[in-house]
Structure 1
């Protein structure tokens, strides 16, 4: 069948608009005509079949080509490109390795897609071998090839199997950049950003200084580098010299001064900004919260509201933290109202809301929020377990702990700490033993000293002093003053004065300045009517110059 010449010219123009169904019709037309011999036409058609996110149809068409087409490198490049975009990336590499067997030589249109597939697979050793092949074939000077190599060396993790140190990889990326005939500003910026990410501001600045042209990203990257290593004066110098500043530039300076505890200067930058977005507000609000300036954080949030700026999840997390620390339930309720629908809430915001209600004393509201959150992570469950434990709802805390596991979530260190805390304060001895033993047995989590401390506290509170002592002797950690203090509390429960004296001797070997063990020993003797011994325990504090800290209250 012969296709009219005008149709042969029209089809390539309509290919970009063709649906997958149209392509099947065109393919049938190609098969029944001599168009397969037109490599330019056939390659455009084959390429279009790769632009629908899958390669099964393209693979079928390619595999059915005649022998005369199997050695056309243009068609191989089309398939390699398709696999590089759609995957599987292994097929891209496999076709590349098969090319020499077909008498085909890869060139500047082949290598970029092969290098990119190596990156996607994390096959950096293979990518390094391809680089050697590129050098031998003379295509390193091609911008597309050099750009793909440049990006590969920037993406290489420090632990990649190439066997190279991170600095060596950056040196290779730098060499490729230096040798490129065309060096757009974004490539310079990528190199600077990589140096900044590893804290090498010296190399970043050297590159910055020799750039033929800079944009606002170049300046901002260099400023963020100085901020990262705490060189605020250098960051300020660049900021002042910037020909054009944007909101990122100003926000970086707010963070720079906030990180050095200079909140006054940070606030001056904030107030001087010609334009503020939600990130700028978040930076200042979170800075106040991190430095325990909780009232200032809430005041600034109120100002943000008055200026009509819409908060985001980061805003709510900072403000809820401030409410938690201030115990401001009224403001916390207002934030809850602003957040709205909890079912679509980011889990980190929902967790902050739970924590706020718990710290403000409304554990029922905290639990109501917990129930309404859609997809909960382990941290969210941990916060709820801890909240219930602290408020005496220990059995509910354990129920949540067990439900978490039924939901398929794996507990972590903090989960077990909270669960054991609940058992300790709820007198759940058997449950506490079971949970502690399940850590290593079921979850391969080695108990830390705080987990031992919780179980020892549980045993001591319930008169199981001998078992607690055995646990102290068997644990793979040297007991700290908290452990000895816990045992001393157990001695007070059982009235074992002889053991209490031995515990204090052990505690004093730590040469700690904690007064608690001596005060507790004194109280044990006093409760038994042994006033001389009680006074003696206090006297030892005076001899060692250990003073009991006076209590203080935040209530005015």
Structure 2
């Protein structure tokens, strides 16, 4: 009879609500089942699983305030504080146990170690480790795993390795975890030692090691392990593709990609994104077309990479096709893909459509707002750029460094001196952002362009950074507006000290002299540029039609 009742109450406790738990409590009291420690312990444990410990604390304390002496109840409380907090009470309960003649058991230590990890408390964690050793619990699997988790989580890999080496039961998952942790911290030598000690490796072991070598650019070791693998899967192939692509060897990466027995979406995305990242935009588009014909359905990562390629190639028609493909296929355009579409239209010259996409986007992040502000500024829609800057704040988005760079860029190119000053001054005052050299550069450019050359010069001299080529170039531009040859020569002296290969400043100086009819000085500026071995890059443009892709 008692077994049936215990089983029935255990079933009720598993699925009960907090209100029903209180009803069960009443049943236990009226039936004297609260004297059954097994039933009461299960009931008390369940009381700690509702996100708060107030009721559990009431149950734990007896009517006369004396704490219950049963280890089960102490473990329940320690477990409850470990999951619900406050974590400090968990440590307090653990420290109180010896005072109540309660000896911690194998169920106590894992939860206390979990709390030490959450609190990043190394001192208490080491103290508990010592108690584990004195109690002889170091060989208990759950405690050993908790110690391992603690030392790994707190960044003490040397101690973690000692715990790992002392563990009796080490399944392959544990070996792989040690490799993964060493790989994540860049300690490839230690990862390889663990790898070499594994009694029997699985695919995860091999792939983790190859991925680690790939991350640090160790192609030779990655290739050596890849060739030795008894069995390869799509992750193995993709890791090697990344290894070669990251090192700049896209030819070998593509050769491996073509040799893959099977590919998944990650394989395709990896190859396409590496083409785009390394400036092989035409190849990225061609591979995307191939993906359409024989690969899986593209996802957001694929669209982002290929839209970036369209932006750089000026391939508006292809970008439009991808956009319409997304809409037709019902693809949920999130912040990342939506921002890529906006940037593609803007860089391809269709700022109106970029703006329409921006307005229609339901979800926007700060990066999306930044791209729209910068795009509008580049296309000369200065007032719209400032409106978007103000609108994003009304929508609850906090501007960041890039927001202010884009907005100040807009002010500079729109001649909005007062707005530029106000926005620059608001960075630290209203948003707690310390202006960087690029922000000072934008303001100096704004002042220089609009006849405030003296103020710009003072700002360049007093700002907390050494002026770079962009700052001196902005001042030189102001000298052209004012025909200030004396300041222009001073600026050029500073530029010469930087030993910059920037041709634009020499061309600008030459043009300043030429506009005033001082042809010998203009010719001298050009000759100096040639003497320094500095050449003006030839401009070029690229427009790609949809019928040219994949051919």
Q: TM-score, normalised by structure 1?
A: 0.90
Cα pair distance change 1:247/1:327, threshold 3 Å: same
What is the rounded CA distance, in whole Å, between the counterparts of 1:99 and 1:372 in structure 2? 61
The SS at the match of 1:129 is helix
Corresponding residue of 1:166: none
The answer on 1:319 being equivalent to 2:316 is no
Compare 235-244 and 316-325 and name the one that shifted more.
Answer: 235-244
Instruction: Kindly state the Cα deviation for residue 170 of structure 1 after the two structures are TM-superposed.
Output: 1.0
Match of 1:8 among 5, 13, 22: 5
Cα pair distance change 1:50/1:498, threshold 3 Å: closer
Q: Distance in 1 between matches of 2:165 and 2:72?
A: 31
Match of 1:372 in 2: 360
Aligned twin of 2:538: 551
Aligned to 1:206: 193
CA shift in 2, pair 1:72/1:473, >3 Å = same
**Correspondences of 1:33-182 after superposition (within 5 Å):** 33-52=31-50, 54-64=52-62, 70-157=68-155, 169-182=156-169
Alpha-carbon distance change, 518 to 276 in structure 1, aligned in 2, over 3 angstroms: closer
Shift of 1:141: 2.2
* Per-residue Cα deviation, 1:380-421 (whole angstroms, up to 9, x for no partner): 211111111101011111111122223333222211111111
Q: CA deviation at 1:286?
A: 0.8
- Determine the structure 1 residue equivalent to 2:410: 422
Q: Which residue in 1 is equivalent to 2:274?
A: 287
Taking structure 1 as reference, are residues 477 and 18 closer, same or farther at Cα in structure 2, changes over 3 Å only?
closer
CA contact (8 A) 2:313 2:542 kept: no
Q: Would you say 1:458 and 2:455 are equivalent positions?
A: no
* Contact 1:515–1:546 under 8 Å retained in 2: no
Report whether the alignment pairs 1:19 with 2:16.
yes
CA contact (8 A) 1:30 1:36 kept: yes
More displaced stretch, 84-93 vs 208-217: 84-93
- Work out whether residues 139 and 145 of structure 1, in 8 Å CA contact, stay in contact via their aligned partners in 2: yes
CA distance in 1, matches of 2:410, 2:28: 74
Q: Does 1:392 align with 2:390?
A: no
Conserved 8 A contact 1:343-1:374: no
The equivalent of 1:496 in structure 2 is: 484
Unaligned runs of 5+ in 2: 544-551
Distance 1:100 1:360, change over 3 A: same
The match for 2:321 among 313, 334, 338 is: 334
Shift of 1:308: 5.5
TM-score normalised according to structure 2 size: 0.91
Matches of 1:514 and 1:208 in 2, distance apart? 50
Structure 1 unaligned blocks of 5 or more: 158-168
Residue in structure 1 matched with residue 284 of structure 2 by the alignment:
297
CA distance in 2, matches of 1:42, 1:292: 68
| Offset of residue 320 of structure 1 | 1.3
Match of 1:165 in 2: none
Residues of 1 paired with 2:6 and 2:535: CA distance? 94
Tell me what 2:506 maps to. Answer: 518
Q: Single out whichever of 31-40 and 124-133 deviates more from structure 2.
A: 124-133
Could you tell me how far 1:217 is from its partner in structure 2?
1.1
Q: What is aligned with 1:486?
A: 474
Which residue of the partner structure matches residue 268 of structure 1? Answer: 255
CA contact (8 A) 1:344 1:373 kept: no
CA contact (8 A) 1:514 1:546 kept: no
**Residue of structure 1 equivalent to 2:460:** 472
Q: For 1:262 and 1:11, how far apart are their aligned partners in 2?
A: 66
- 2: distance between equivalents of 1:310 and 1:65? 66
Q: Is the 8 A contact 1:343 1:373 kept in 2?
A: no
Distance 1:232 1:65, change over 3 A: farther
Q: What pairs up with 1:183-202 in 2 under 5 angstroms?
A: 183-202=170-189
Confirm or deny: 8 A CA contact 1:208 1:222 kept in the other structure. Answer: yes
Shift of 1:249: 1.2
In the alignment, which residue of structure 2 is the partner of 1:229?
A: 216
2:13–2:43 Cα contact (<8 Å) kept = no
SS at match of 1:509: helix
Between the aligned partners of 1:203 and 1:550, the Cα distance in structure 2 is 48
Quick one: higher RCO (CA 8 Å, sep 6+), 1 or 2?
2
Aligned mates of 2:435, 2:492 — CA distance in 1: 25
Tell me the CA shift for residue 71 of structure 1. Answer: 0.2
Residue 77 of structure 1 and its aligned partner are, at CA, apart by: 1.2
Q: Which moved more, 1:55-64 or 1:440-449?
A: 55-64
Q: What is the CA distance between 1:175 and its match in structure 2?
A: 0.8
What is the CA distance between 1:210 and its match in structure 2?
Answer: 1.1
Residues 55, 82 of structure 1: 8 Å contact kept: yes
Pairing 1:411-450 to 2, within 5 Å after superposition? 411-450=399-438
Match of 2:243 among 232, 235, 256: 256
Question: How far does the alpha carbon of each residue in 1:170-205 deviate from its partner, in whole angstroms, 9 at most, with x for none?
Answer: 111111111112111111111111111122111111
> 2:309 & 2:368 partners in 1: Cα distance?
19
Match of 2:350 among 340, 362, 368: 362
Shift of 1:431: 0.6
Separation in 2, partners of 1:529, 1:301: 55
Q: Which moved more, 1:413-422 or 1:88-97?
A: 88-97
